[in-house]
Amino acid sequence: MPSIAKPAVLHPSAQRNELGLTLRDYEGSMSTLCAGCGHDSVTAAIVRALWELSVEPHKLAKMSGIGCSSKTPAYFVTGAHGFNSAHGRMPPIATGANAANRELLYIGVSGDGDSLSIGLGHLCHAIRRNVRMVYIIENNGVYGLTKGQFSASADVGTKSKKGEANRMAPIDPIQLGLSLGATFLARGFSGDKEQLVPILKAAVAHRGFAIIDVVSPCVTFNDHTGSTKSYLYTRQHRIRATETDYVPPATEILTEISPRGETAVTLHDGSVVRFSAVPADYNPSDRLAVAKFLQENAADGRIVTGLLYVDEATPNIHEMNNTPAKALTSVPWSKLCPGAEMLNALQEEFR
């Protein structure tokens, strides 16, 4: 992963956000992924969402494991610490980081090999702990860096570049998340930034673990006929089950209610996510109904995208552990060390 800095040229007309920063300030080094890789589109969506939200670059921590997807934190927000850890182990590292300093925004970028095979156990437990972070799975059904093996998200019947068919059932992170009590579940497509950006913004505002499964085709190993994770197949079989409109906190909602009917979910920080769904009665808070809807569509070969499930009531890791609102790293020494007198006194127990 050689890092190549981008030339620092800025167009005078570049727009600035509330912090006075341009989109370029949210970019990273040059991508070394294959030309046309879906992951680069996801990176662009992340850059856009963070810029629009005016996130302070150094208040962001970029977490990843190992794999093509896990390289991408190098390609956005150079001003943020990044942690390219070990294969599958990003969830516990992010959990520990979040435990120590809850004041940072954590964005994890992982892939289907990282999250659904070697790190599946860790993902499940990060979901259960409801660690506050955005957890993106750039899902292409294939191992790219090792040249084309099936991943655990490969669909039954999908073919490798060499023509071999996968016969094992896929692991769907959304269905998995629903069964584990996940509190924010969305699916996107790297070819649809318009849909992805508001989902990312809602995920940032979510108070717990926000999973965004992004179908992100591998142009080199999995973009052929016979693949169910190709650009063509995804475009043909995808439905946008929900349209998400992210409304930041303290913004007066002026938009008329859509004639189709909308569901609005207020997030913890006061922001609102408004859904307008293809099925008019889609309820993103009804775990059972969402699971049924997804399974029915999966059975019919449709890839359901959109913000699919939100639960703002379940406590997150810090609420479950009754920690202070400020980072544990900021607790003063006087509150950490009970001191000599106390040590003397407490040793009476050991007499």
Partner 1 sequence: MEYRVSPRINDFAVKLANVNGTGSASANGLIMQAIFRMGIPVSGKNLFPSNIQGLPTWYEIRVNGDGHVSRALDYDLMVAMNAQTYDRDLKEVRSGGYVLYDSSWPLDDHLLREDIHLIGVPLARMCIESFAEPRERTLMKNIAYAGAMVALLEIDMAIVEALIKESFSRKPALLASNTRALRLGYDYAKEHFACPLPFRLSPMNANADKILIDGNTAIALGCLYAGVTVAAWYPITPATSVMDGFKNLCEKYRKDPETGENNYIILQAEDELAAIGMVIGAMWNGARAFTSTAGPGISLMNELLGLAYYAEIPVVVVDVQRVGPSTGMPTRTQQSDLLECAYASHGDTKHILLLPGNPAECFDFAVKSFDLADRFQTPVFIVSDLDIGMNDWVVPKLDWDDSYRPDRGRVLTHDEIEALPQFHRFLGENGTQIAPRTLPGVHPKGAYFTRGSGHNKFGLYTEIPDEYQEVMDRLLLKHRAAASAVPPALIEERRNAEFGVITVGGCDAAVREAVENLAANGIFADFMRIRAFPFGREVEQFIADHEFCFVVEQNRDSQLKSMLILETAAPKEKLQSVLVYGGFPLSARTVVDEITRQLTRVPQPVSIRKGK
**The tokens 């090999």 sit on which residue?**
113
Check binding of 1 to partner 1 (CB under 8 A).
yes
SS3 call for 296: helix
Dihedral sign for Cα 76, 82, 85, 89, please: negative
Q: Which residue has the tokens 């589109």?
A: 41
Work out whether 20 is an interface residue with partner 1 (CB under 8 A): no
Q: Of these, 13, 15, 255, 347, which contacts partner 1 (CB under 8 A)?
A: 347
10, 23 contact by CB (below 8 A): no
- Judged by beta carbon, residue 55 or residue 154, the one nearer partner 1 is 55
342: contact with partner 1 by CB under 8 A: yes
In the complex, the smallest distance separating the C-beta of residue 76 from partner 1, rounded to whole angstroms, is 11
337 interacts with partner 1 by CB under 8 A: yes
**Smaller CB distance to partner 1: residue 2 or 7?**
2
Exactly one of 10, 14, 19, 86 binds partner 1 (CB under 8 A); that residue is 86
For the chain, first and last CA: distance in Å? 59
Closest by CA position to 125, among listed 93, 153, 97: 93
Between the alpha carbon of residue 68 and those of residues 38, 146, 158, 184, 282, the distances in Å are: 11, 10, 21, 24, 34
How do beta strands 142-143 and 149-150 pair? Answer: antiparallel
Nearest alpha carbon to residue 313 among 179, 186, 181: 181
Options 152-160, 161-169, 299-307, 329-337: segment touching partner 1 (CB under 8 A)? 329-337
β-strands 303-310, 272-277 pairing: unpaired
Among positions 23, 24, 30, 89, the unique one binding partner 1 when judged by CB under 8 A? 89
Q: Is 237 exposed, middle or buried (0-12, 13-18, 19+ CB in 10 A)?
A: middle
Nearer to partner 1 by C-beta: 124 or 272?
A: 124
Q: Hey, is 317 helix, strand or coil?
A: helix
Is 331 near partner 1 (CB under 8 A)? yes
Among 97, 107, 212, 308, binds partner 1 (CB under 8 A): 97
Of 129, 201, 206, 238, the one binding partner 1 by CB under 8 A = 129
Candidates 73, 177, 188, 306; binder of partner 1 (CB under 8 A) is 73
Residue span binding partner 1 (CB under 8 A) among the ranges 33-41, 176-184, 274-282, 321-329 = 321-329
The reply on whether position 10 binds partner 1 by CB under 8 A is no
Inter-residue contact 52 to 23 (CB < 8 Å)? no
Q: How far apart are CA 165 and CA 62, in angstroms?
A: 35
Under rule CB under 8 A, residue 24 binds partner 1 = no
d(CA 293, CA 282) in angstroms, rounded, equals 9
Binding part of the chain for partner 1, among 47-55, 123-131, 170-178, 281-289 by CB under 8 A, reads: 123-131
Contact with partner 1 (CB under 8 A) among 22, 266, 283, 323 = 323
Minimum CB separation of residue 182 from partner 1 in Å reads 16
With beta carbons less than 8 A apart as the criterion, state whether 70 and 119 touch. Answer: no
Residues at the contact surface with partner 1, assessed by CB under 8 A: 1-3, 56-59, 61, 73-74, 78-86, 89, 91-101, 103-104, 121-122, 124-125, 129, 317-318, 321-324, 328-329, 331, 333, 335-340, 342-344, 347, 350-351
